[in-house]
Structure 1
Amino acid sequence: MSAAPTIAEALARKPNGFTGLRLILALAVVVSHAFSVATGIGTDEPLAKATGYTLGEHAVNGFFAVSGFLVTMSCDRRGLRDYALARTLRILPGLIAATLVVSLALGTAMTRLPAGEYWRDPGLWSFVRNTLVNFKSNAALPGVFEGNPYRSPLGTVWTLKYEVLCYCGVFVAGLSGLLRRRWVATLLCFGFALGLSVEVALHGDALAKGVETAFRLPMIFAAGACLYLWRDTLRLAAPAMLCLGVALFVLARTPTYPALLFLGSAYAAIWLALGPLAFRLFDPPADFSYGIYLYGWPVQQTLHALWPAQTGLALLLPSLLITVPVAALSWYAVERPALALKARALGRRSLGTIEPAGP
Structure 2
Amino acid sequence: MSPIATVSNGLARGRDNFLSLRHILAGCVLVSHAFFVFRGADVREPLLDETGLDLGQHAVNLFFALSGFLVVQSLERRGVKAYARARALRLLPGLVMATLFTAFVIGPIVTSLPLGAYLRDSATWRFLVDIVPRFNGHATLPGVFEDQPANEAMITIWTIKYEIACYALLAIGGFALLRRRPAIVLAACALGFALMSLPSRIVLPDAVHSFARLGMCFAFGVGAWLYRRQMPLDGRFVIGGVLLSLALARTTFGLPVMILAECYGALWLAFLPTAWPGGALSIVGSEMAGGPGLVKAPLALLAGADFSYGIYLYGFPLEQAIFQFLQPSSPWLLIVQVLPVVLIVALGSWLLVEKPALALKSRRAVGELPQSAPVAEGQTS
Q: TM-score, normalised by structure 2?
A: 0.87
In the other structure, the counterpart of 1:15 is 15
Specify the code of the residue in structure 2 equivalent to 1:323: V
In the other structure, the counterpart of 1:279 is 274
Specify the code of the residue in structure 1 equivalent to 2:264: Y
For residues 373 and 308 of structure 2, what CA distance do their matches in structure 1 show? 17
After TM superposition, the structure 1 stretch with the greater mean CA deviation from structure 2, 100-109 or 301-310, is 301-310
Render the CA deviation track for 1:250-300: whole Å, top value 9, x for unaligned.
11100001110111122111111112xx43344433110000000000010
Structure 1 residues 267 and 309, CA gap change in structure 2 (3 angstroms)? closer
Q: In the alignment, is residue 169 of structure 1 matched against residue 169 of structure 2?
A: yes
Which secondary structure state, in structure 1, belongs to the residue aligned with residue 332 of structure 2? Answer: coil
Question: Which residue among 234, 249, 252 is the counterpart of 2:231?
Answer: 234
Q: In the alignment, is residue 24 of structure 1 matched against residue 24 of structure 2?
A: yes
Specify the code of the residue in structure 2 equivalent to 1:102: T
* 1:58-73 paired onto structure 2 within 5 Å: 58-73=58-73
Q: In the alignment, is residue 297 of structure 1 matched against residue 316 of structure 2?
A: yes
In the other structure, the counterpart of 1:160 is 160
Question: Which residue among 209, 216, 219 is the counterpart of 1:222?
Answer: 219
Render the CA deviation track for 1:103-157: whole Å, top value 9, x for unaligned.
0111111111111111111101100011011111101001100111221111100
For residues 226 and 77 of structure 1, what CA distance do their matches in structure 2 show? 16
What is the Cα deviation at residue 214 of structure 1?
Answer: 2.5
Which secondary structure state, in structure 2, belongs to the residue aligned with residue 134 of structure 1? Answer: coil
For residues 344 and 119 of structure 1, what CA distance do their matches in structure 2 show? 38
Does the 8 Å CA contact 1:289/1:357 hold for their aligned counterparts?
no
For residues 356 and 173 of structure 1, what CA distance do their matches in structure 2 show? 24
Structure 1 residues 163 and 2, CA gap change in structure 2 (3 angstroms)? farther
What is the Cα deviation at residue 208 of structure 1?
Answer: 5.9
In the other structure, the counterpart of 2:357 is 338
Render the CA deviation track for 1:327-352: whole Å, top value 9, x for unaligned.
01000000000011221245879995
Does the 8 Å CA contact 2:131/2:137 hold for their aligned counterparts?
yes
What is the Cα deviation at residue 321 of structure 1?
Answer: 1.1
Render the CA deviation track for 1:142-181: whole Å, top value 9, x for unaligned.
1100111221111100000000000001111226733542
For residues 35 and 151 of structure 1, what CA distance do their matches in structure 2 show? 14
What is the Cα deviation at residue 357 of structure 1?
Answer: 3.6
Q: In the alignment, is residue 262 of structure 1 matched against residue 281 of structure 2?
A: no
Structure 1 residues 333 and 272, CA gap change in structure 2 (3 angstroms)? same
Structure 1 residues 84 and 38, CA gap change in structure 2 (3 angstroms)? same
In the other structure, the counterpart of 1:192 is 192
In the other structure, the counterpart of 1:132 is 132
Which secondary structure state, in structure 1, belongs to the residue aligned with residue 252 of structure 2? Answer: coil
Structure 1 residues 229 and 320, CA gap change in structure 2 (3 angstroms)? same
Does the 8 Å CA contact 1:343/1:350 hold for their aligned counterparts?
no
Q: TM-score, normalised by structure 1?
A: 0.92
Does the 8 Å CA contact 2:74/2:83 hold for their aligned counterparts?
yes
For residues 60 and 42 of structure 2, what CA distance do their matches in structure 1 show? 14
For residues 227 and 148 of structure 1, what CA distance do their matches in structure 2 show? 43
After TM superposition, the structure 1 stretch with the greater mean CA deviation from structure 2, 280-289 or 343-352, is 343-352
What is the Cα deviation at residue 243 of structure 1?
Answer: 0.8
In the other structure, the counterpart of 1:322 is 341
What is the Cα deviation at residue 308 of structure 1?
Answer: 3.6
Specify the code of the residue in structure 2 equivalent to 1:303: I
Does the 8 Å CA contact 2:32/2:46 hold for their aligned counterparts?
no
- Percent of matched pairs sharing the same residue: 39
Which secondary structure state, in structure 2, belongs to the residue aligned with residue 156 of structure 1? Answer: helix
In the other structure, the counterpart of 1:35 is 35
In the other structure, the counterpart of 1:87 is 87
Specify the code of the residue in structure 2 equivalent to 1:263: L
For residues 363 and 193 of structure 2, what CA distance do their matches in structure 1 show? 41
The count of corresponding residues between Structure 1 and Structure 2 is 353
> Which ranges of structure 1 fall in alignment gaps of 5 or more residues?
none
In the other structure, the counterpart of 2:295 is none
Does the 8 Å CA contact 2:328/2:334 hold for their aligned counterparts?
no
Does the 8 Å CA contact 1:42/1:54 hold for their aligned counterparts?
no
For residues 14 and 42 of structure 1, what CA distance do their matches in structure 2 show? 45
Q: In the alignment, is residue 182 of structure 1 matched against residue 179 of structure 2?
A: no
Specify the code of the residue in structure 2 equivalent to 1:306: F
What is the RMSD computed on CA atoms of the aligned residues?
2.2
Specify the code of the residue in structure 1 equivalent to 2:314: Y
> Which ranges of structure 2 fall in alignment gaps of 5 or more residues?
283-303
Which secondary structure state, in structure 1, belongs to the residue aligned with residue 201 of structure 2? Answer: helix
For residues 57 and 104 of structure 1, what CA distance do their matches in structure 2 show? 29
For residues 169 and 234 of structure 1, what CA distance do their matches in structure 2 show? 23
